Structure 1
Amino acid sequence: MIQKIKYTIIALVGFFIIQGCGAYSFTGTNISPDTKTFQVGFFQNQASIIIPGIDQTFTNQLQDIILNQTNLDLVTSNGDLAYEGEIVQYYVAPTNATSANTAAQNRLTIAVNVRFYDTKNPKEDVEKRFSFFFDYPASQAETAVRDEAIQVIYERITQDILNATLAKW
């Protein structure tokens, strides 16, 4: 009998703890329960340097991170949440010099302008520029490290976008 009461109390405490958590997400997102869908418009490359395919890669990575870290469904139009924007900077510059006045290290920087719309709660709309960089030895050609650099940069930028729009960090 005491054992049964003990399990009942534990079950009740567990129930109230779970109820108190409400709409908590383990990914840190804070999405309204009535928000079910999102859409991501094509992020066209409008940077001064045009690298074929980086626009489609970015668009796909943004879709993937939202799909993987939320319970939202991707739609092609009329989403509860909408992302649009453009790649506005693709820039390589030397960051460290050698004693012979040559570059020892280069930095690839990519910046993306993002507009986020929440149709359920327009006061949450955001327009912001996100950027990140990748450093590599000047002895390597940019084309040799481009794929790795873009992957690293896009992982950071898409996570920053998710944090700014859905996690409110």
Structure 2
Amino acid sequence: MNTLKNLLILMVSVGFLNSCYTFTGSSLKDEKTVQINEFPNNAALVNPALSQQFSTDIQNRFLQRTTLKGTKTNPDILIEGEITDYGITPTTISSSTQQTSAGTIQQSQNKLTITVKVRYENKLHSELSFERTYVDEAVFNSNLSQSQIETSQVKLVTDRIINKIFNDIVANW
């Protein structure tokens, strides 16, 4: 009896959650097409691959996780913007030390910060349009190489920013 009751509660809960949000982009009303322009990198410190990678990743997110179709003419939704800041700054030097053959070294950390300005225009429901700035960061050990920073930390930060943009547009959070 308890198993049947638990199963019924589970089914009702899943039905309720599904009606609140679906993963197919159905929280978009009548929108069928999207145009996502390239996000130029206008930061003072330029990561040469960032603009292309960010633009591709945000396009893929919307085209793969919604029912929207990409277009270059008369889209229902237009998403554009620019990368306005990209920086790596030192954050901490720990008090713990590490003994090596070369002597004692202190561990330190750096912080990567990326800022993206986004303009979202919904041509069918203009009240949903907005212009916002998204910022995210990651703290990492300073002993990472530039290549490691580019492949892991930049990807982590841009994925988080794209997630925020996606949620603000599709889920209207």
TM-score normalised by the chain length of structure 2: 0.77
Q: Please give the root-mean-square deviation of Cα atoms over the aligned residues, in Å.
A: 2.2
Q: Which amino acid aligns with 2:38?
A: F
Percent of matched pairs sharing the same residue: 29
Q: Is the 8 A contact 1:89 1:110 kept in 2?
A: yes
Give the partner amino acid of 1:47.
A
Aligned length: 148
Unaligned runs of 5+ in 1: 1-16
Indicate the SS of the match to 1:45: coil
Q: Residue 160 of structure 1: CA displacement?
A: 0.4
Separation in 1, partners of 2:155, 2:74: 29
Q: Give the CA deviation at 1:103.
A: 6.5
- Shift of the alpha carbon at 1:69? 1.4
Which one of the candidate residues 16, 23, 26 is aligned to 2:23?
Answer: 26
TM-score by length of 1: 0.79
Check 1:28–1:36 CA distance in 2 against 1; reply closer, same or farther (3 A cut).
Answer: closer
Which of residues 77, 84, 87 is equivalent to 2:80?
Answer: 84
Q: How does 1:16-165 map to 2 (within 5 A)?
A: 21=19, 25-26=22-23, 30-32=27-29, 34-99=30-95, 104-165=108-169
Secondary structure class of the residue paired with 1:132: strand
User: In structure 1, what is the Cα distance between the partners aligned to 2:107 and 2:168?
Assistant: 35
* Partner deviation per Cα, 1:117-167 (whole Å, 9 max, x = no partner): 000011110110111112211122334321211211111111100111121
Structure with bigger strand share is 2
- Rounded to whole Å, the distance in 2 between the matches of 1:163 and 1:109 is 20
Whole-angstrom distance in 1 between the partners of 2:21 and 2:43: 38
